[in-house]
A and B are shown apart, each in its own frame.
Chain A
Amino acid sequence: MRRLIRDRRLWAVVVGMVAAAVALKLSPDVTPRLAPIGALLQEALAPLQRVTFRASAAVRDAGGYLVDLPRLRRENERLRAQVEHVDILESQLEELRQENRRLNELLGLKARLDVASRRLLAARVIGRNPDDWFSYVMIDCGKRDGVERGMVVITAQGLVGRVTSVASHAATVMLLTDPQSGVGARVQRESSQAQGVVLGQKGRGDLLKMKFFLHDADVRRGDRIVTSSLGEVFPSGIPIGIVTEVVDGEGGLVREAWVKPLVAFNRLEEVLVLGARGREGG
């Protein structure tokens, strides 16, 4: 203890500390006056500080990334699953949107055709003739829905065919393109109105042949063909197709024309069944 008390250096420290405290107390305005020196020091150190600060920030960011990596991976997986789910929903939404558009077109058809007095029944295509896609289709409505044999089936584009057999919950529709199909038709042109029968053709895909009743029937390429009022089965004015070629029939006795149907038979999904006139179609 005595040695400590005698230590002059320690006394110098104590005196120095007291002097510093007194100096701090007596000169509160010294700091503003020394500010230029501080600014100079700051100016000199700034380039070094900038480099170190950037490097430190980069290291911190990299470290933060490494620390966050497991969390980011989990989040990435979760978001990826979410994106897949949204993709599926979007696909379903697009499907429903297209279906809605088709159904709206089908409903709009009723106003355009001479079928105002008939009920319309929307049905879905659930099957096809495996031997020939352009022959028959099965729909998901049957007797319980009011479907009867002979009823006409259409889409927004035009005539599809007619019901040939009916089960309780399903029915078979013979397409226009079936070789056994025959529909009374006419040219939908004011200056012509030539009449005939549209027949399905085996082995010609979805092409139809129209045989005219008169040898000099006025028909041209591009004419629109619609159902005529001759038959009892089909209402008049339902679009069938467009004439692609006019030819002379066998022996030159009748005129014939190849007709491209307006309905895309290979992409049928929803159809409308026309109920009987004055009765409920379902």
Chain B
Amino acid sequence: MQLRVWALAGLVVLATVLQTSLVPFLQVSEVRPDLLLVLSLAVGLTFGPREAGWIGAAAGLCEDFLSGRQVGLFTASLALVSYLMALAGQKVYREHVAVPVMAGFVGTWMLHVVEATLSLVGGIDSNWHLMGLPTLLEAGANAVLTGLAYGPVRRLEGLFSRGGRYVAGRRPGAWL
């Protein structure tokens, strides 16, 4: 399996672990950042829509399993939002720092809307009641975090785009 897939899978695991064991400590009232969304958006802006869809689906599936909710709800929502945001990201100049920040902000709102809509259609309790100030604050937090995560993910993409393979014990500049 390609190194890139392993690296992205590792990022999903890391984000899942941090989301379940670190973020609860940062939560204020019902507002907490969504690291899985942040990762999906950063990967989507960097690698493209296809990777964004897969990463979103994998991260969403992890969250569905760990949260005990209806399996598929967050999987579909996150995959869709990541894909769409990555698609939109292809139309803009991605080097600008405002792009990932805006993606984090808009992506959060979009995720809540998609999730609530799917819940409504699927006959599941929706989270419409959280729309408003909590979502606004969460969107702000996610925007900042997406802006912070974008740089490292791009550097990671830079390593893979050189088309080489990693040689143990050598610095990144020594990729063959």
Contacts and interface: CB of A to CB of B under 8 A. Distances in A.
B146 interface: no
Interface in B95-127: 114, 117-118, 121-124
7 contacts: A17-B80, A20-B72, A21-B121, A25-B123, A28-B123, A38-B71, A49-B21
B41 interface: no
Secondary structure call for the A interface = helix
Chain A interface size, under 10 / 10 to 19 / 20 to 34 / 35 or more? 20 to 34
Interface of A: 9-10, 13, 16-17, 20-25, 28, 30-31, 34, 37-38, 41-42, 45, 48-50, 52-53, 56-57, 59-60
Interface string B59-77: 0001001101111110010
A57 B25 CA distance: 7
Contact of A13 (B16, B72, B83): B83
Contact of B13 (A9, A45, A50): A45
Nearest to A50: B21
Contacts of B16: 45
Contacts of A52: 17-18, 21-22
Contacts of B66: 38, 41-42, 45
Given A37-B65, A38-B66, A31 B21 contact: no
Most interface-central of A21, A48, A50, A53 (chain B CB within 10 A): A21
A17 B68 contact: no
B84 A13 contact: yes
Interface in B32-72: 49, 62, 65-66, 68-72
